[in-house]
Amino acid sequence: MLRHLAKRAAAAAVSSGVRGGVLSRGFASEAGGKSSGSSIPLFLGLAGAGAGLYYAKEAGYLDSVLGMPPTNGSAAASFKPDYDAVRRSVEDLMESNEEYDDGSYGPLLVRLAWHTSGTYDSNTNTGGSNGATMRFLPEANWGANAGLAVARDLLEPVKQKFPWISYSDLWTLAGATAIESMGGPHIPWRPGRSDYAPEQFVALPDGRLPDGDKDAKHVRDIFYRMGFNDQEIVALCGAHTLGRCHADRSGFVGPWTNAPTTFSNLYFVELTENKWHKKKWNGPLQYEDKSGQLMMLNTDMWLLWDKKFKQFTQKYAKDEEAFFQDFASAFSKLLELGVPFPEGVAAAASPKPSA
């Protein structure tokens, strides 16, 4: 690997030269077009010995090779992070394991983005996606975050490939990318989150994320704390159109729909048009349909039982376009809670990723 990097760095140096006269261009061609053996640049000799690799790194020639932002002069000033490349890498990972759940990591990536952002408390301005605090204990081991180590580990190769992106930007971008890749709306997203160092981390209190066996009051307590209204609450709950519950994680079991890897309004259609009854089992309170294949949490049922929630639930069951629009707005807001974006930076309105 080092020899390969040294070779690429040498080629970069030879093609562009080194300012200040430290290294010459090094190609004194003979009349026949062959390079003179005596004109091999000093850089190549150093690279072969290992010193050239060090020099190349210090000079910035390896920055593009290693995925690092340039550190030398004008190259650093003109460096533009390629977020489309990050998106493509995430997309490549989503269906990389046919044996995982329903053949896609997409729903899991949405859950990671959701849970890293949903810890925000507007009263204390603590929590949220900034800092990527789920890397630390005890948050990493909260019951609500069970199973998310799989998502964090899945994205680690992407982080290594693009070390210039913060974990907090990567996790939220991965969630937005997953939704779009599974047929959902474009999620406005912008970078700017930073990762806390261990000494900066202050543990958050557990209990900031929703508990599926609770009632409408609990749902409002959780979402109002973040700054969402009833319409936004229902729209965000529509993310349950994706994925499934696992008995070894949340204690609940089963998918909400028969298309758990496709983003749609099917969750609301099932909730309003299907018949639900309490599941008879030794697990926590949940509901199932007549087939026993689909499930709803108690918090899901309250979207139908609560009059204020119900009006939006019925609206989204009938109008997928309205759901997509409201979800995109609410989810983008969720991903930005507590993030100290620079003053004057426009609100999240990123263009759609290039094809």
For the question of residue 240 being annotated catalytic, the response is: no
Alpha-carbon gap, residue 10 to 295, rounded angstroms:
59
Alpha-carbon gap, residue 86 to 94, rounded angstroms:
13
Examine residue 138 and say whether the peptide bond preceding it is cis (omega within 30 degrees of 0): yes
Scanning 83-185, the segments in alpha helix (DSSP H) are 83-94, 106-117, 148-161, 167-181
DSSP 224-278: HHHT--HHHHHHHHGGGGS-EE-TTTTS--EESSS-TTS-SSHHHHHHHHS--EE
Give the alpha-carbon dihedral of 322, 346, 338, 168, to 10 degrees: 90
| Residue 178 Cα distances to 48, 107, 182, angstroms | 43, 7, 6
Nearby residues of 189 by Cβ (< 8 Å), 6 or more positions away: 172, 173, 176, 332, 335, 348, 350
| Residue 114 Cα distances to 42, 173, 174, angstroms | 53, 11, 11
Catalytic annotation, pick one of 114, 142, 189, 256: 256
Catalytic annotation, pick one of 115, 189, 240, 276: 115
For the question of residue 171 being annotated catalytic, the response is: no
- Catalytic residue annotation: 115, 256
